Amino acid sequence: MKRSIIITGGAGFIGSHVVRLFVNKYPDYEIICLDKLTYAGNLANLADVEKQANYRFVRMDICDYEGVSRLMKEARVDGIIHLAAESHVDRSIKDPFTFARTNVMGTLALLQAAKEYWESLPEKYEGKRFYHISTDEVYGALEMNRPEGIKPPYATAASSTQHHLAYGDQFFHEDTPYRPHSPYSASKASSDHFVRAYHDTYGMPTIVTNCSNNYGPYQFPEKLIPLFINNIRHRKPLPVYGKGENIRDWLYVEDHARAIDTIFHKGRVAETYNIGGFNEWKNIDIIKVLINTVDRLLGRAEGEDLGLITYVTDRPGHDARYAIDSSKLQRELGWEPSLQFEEGIEKTVRWYLEHQEWLDNITSGEYEKYYESMYAGR
pLDDT digits (tens, 9 = 90+) for 85-111: 998 888 899 999 999 999 999 999 999
**Is the pLDDT confidence value at 129 over 90?**
yes
User: Catalytic positions, please?
Assistant: 136-137, 184
Per-residue pLDDT at 40: 84
Summarised one tens digit per residue, pLDDT across range 222-246 is 889 999 999 999 999 999 999 999 9
Element (H, E) at 69: helix 65-75
- 100 DSSP 8-state letter: I
Q: How far is CA 307 from the centre of its chain?
A: 30
Please state, in angstroms and rounded to a whole number, the distance separating the CA atoms of residues 63 and 249: 31
> Of 259-268, 304-313, 362-371, which range is least confident?
362-371
Per-residue pLDDT at 367: 45
Mean pLDDT within 258-275: 98
The domain locations on the chain are 1-140+178-211
Q: Which fold has domain 1-140+178-211?
A: Rossmann fold (3.40.50)
Q: 12-40 in b/e burial notation, b at 16+ Cβ within 10 A?
A: bbbbbbbbbbbbeebeebbbbbbbbebeb
Please state, in angstroms and rounded to a whole number, the distance separating the CA atoms of residues 195 and 207: 8
Mean pLDDT within 284-309: 97
Lateral strand order in the sheet of 247-252: 213-215, 247-252, 280-282
Q: Whole-number mean pLDDT of the chain?
A: 93
Cβ–Cβ < 8 Å for 279, 249: yes
